[in-house]
Amino acid sequence: MSCSISGHYWTRVDFVDRGFFCASCKNHLVSGYECDFCTLKVDEVACARTIGQKITCKGVQKPDDEGRYQHHWIPGNIDSDQFCFICDELCGGGVSLRDYSCCLCWRVIHSACMKKNVSEYCDFGPYRFFTFPPDNVYTRRAGKRMVIEQVTLPGQEGFKPIVALINTVCGSCTGKIVYRSFLRHLHPKQVIDVQKDNLKSALQWIDDNPKVDVRLVVAGGDGTISNVLETLEEFQRKPPMAVLPLGTGNDLSRVLGWGSGTNGDLDILQYLNDVYAADLQKLDRWKIMIKSKNQFGRRTVIKNMKMSNYVSIGVDASVTLGMQQTRRSIPRAWSSRFLNKFLFFSFGTKDVFTRTCKGLSDKISLYLDDQLVELPDIEGIVFLNIQCWGAGVQPWKNAEEERPQRLDDGVFEVFAVTSSFHIAQLQVGLSSPVFIGQARKAVVVTKNGSVLPMQCDGEAWMQSRCEFHLSHHGESHMLRKLESPTQKTFF
């Protein structure tokens, strides 16, 4: 439910045992509505209309003639572990609507301290480095959604706006929780729901404003990251991208230092500071062309895609395909990290007995840099671009000293697995992969009409007889988290 006049965007929320109170009638809240942008809380629609006439949302706030913004105070409902920025004593708590928080800088203040000589103007606190002031963003309609058309840069030195692209169906409820958290701490138009918004329309303003030093955050799994990278191929400017892992594998996130997963309890300010301070990291992108002979004997390209993490043929892809088909028949599985792990375990265990990819080395010919490679008895082969595979396994670790691995050297690593049981051993550190080599290009030719499972960055399919070509495509710009945490401060 939205209110265009006051600017609030209301979402139905349960407040059981949270100790919150309605900003309008002051009653204790069990359920009601909360504004996604400024956190104002009410218990019914009538209260939302009443409070909307008294307190507008931060998105419609205007500066004065000198470009200054007043603090946008929201009454009460403050977590009891926050400190007043005037007297440095605890705020909130109690059994009533008390004290205030500013939804622009997120400072909190006692009601009594507001009567002291406090500046009425807000400097946006630490958020001034990566969020646009409300009136500096101009929007246009793109389909049913409003997107940024033009921006005005604030005068803040070192300003680098952060744009968050969130997959709201990832990670059970986590995607939606993270989405609402970013809406509160950034300008709402800097937050994009990849399930609802057209990415090309939502990001076009970045190409149109070359002076703005934008950084992107992608919250989702490896598939979400690949989709965003594919969209950025259409732009001249390709802003560097950080990762907020919400999926199951999250291998690229692990490599770049952003962790293996995120729950809803995210320290959003610390994370934004980390993104702001992160180092640039180039990442190779690889082109995959799958060719097949038509009825006249001519080879035609039947599949064309890009790879950032890894591509595989055989048992690894078979397990991924089984998971993928099950998740499509059970939509709830897409959003459950636990269920995804259970599916992976189930299909891996099943393949121990069925061995659907047995004798893979007799079904394919592998050429690395135009040289035919003799393969041992294997059931799966993986072409790896990053240091992690299979939800955290580092398969090249034992070969690192002899043949170093990099994200930006124009070289990929090739290893093989002998069974799904071998994959399980790799995941618990009880075995090593079959090292094949490193190369700048590869060709795989399938034999004897074989139909084999393949997967690229989490997307799996069954492939009939073909020629599989892997070559360098270009580079993407990523953000690597600094090893030492950046300091979080309001001053």
For residue 50, what are its two tokens? 């009443």
**Which helix (H) or strand (E) covers residue 283, if one does?**
strand 279-293
| CA 239 to centroid of chain Cα atoms | 15
Question: Could you write out the DSSP letters of every residue in 447-472?
Answer: -TT--EEEEETTEEEEE-S-EEEEEE
Torsion angle (degrees, nearest 10) of CA 409, 406, 357, 350? -150
pLDDT in tens, 169-200: 886 678 999 999 999 999 999 999 999 999 99
pLDDT of residue 80: 81
pLDDT of residue 390: 85
Every domain of the chain and the residues it spans: 10-123, 129-277, 286-473
Between CA 312 and CA 296, with CA 360 as vertex, the angle to 5 degrees is 85
Q: Which of 3-12, 62-71, 140-149, 286-295 has the highest mean pLDDT?
A: 62-71
Domain boundaries 129-277, corresponding CATH code: 3.40.50
Taking each continuous run of H as one helix and of E as one strand, the counts in the chain are 9, 26
Given a cut of 80, whether residue 485 has pLDDT beyond it is no
Distance CA 174, CA 337 (A): 10
Distance CA 393, CA 378 (A): 19
For residue 129, what are its two tokens? 């480095």
pLDDT of residue 428: 84
Contacts of 341 (CB under 8 A, 6+ apart): 248
pLDDT of residue 1: 59
Contacts of 404 (CB under 8 A, 6+ apart): none
**Which helix (H) or strand (E) covers residue 314, if one does?**
strand 310-314
Summarize the confidence of residues 132-146 as an average pLDDT. Answer: 88
pTM: 0.89
* Of the candidates 243, 288, 312, the residue with the CA atom closest to the CA atom of residue 481: 243
Distance CA 32, CA 158 (A): 40
Distance CA 286, CA 226 (A): 12
Contacts of 268 (CB under 8 A, 6+ apart): 181, 182, 184, 185
* Of the candidates 341, 364, 349, 335, the residue with the CA atom closest to the CA atom of residue 452: 364
Pick the CATH number of 286-473 from 3.20.20.450, 2.130.10.10, 2.60.200.40, 3.40.190.10: 2.60.200.40
7 phi and psi, to 5 degrees? Answer: 85, -5
pLDDT in tens, 371-390: 999 999 999 999 999 999 98
pLDDT band at 86 (very low <50, low <70, confident <90, very high): very high
Summarize the confidence of residues 353-368 as an average pLDDT. Answer: 84
pLDDT of residue 336: 52
Domain boundaries 10-123, corresponding CATH code: 3.30.60.20
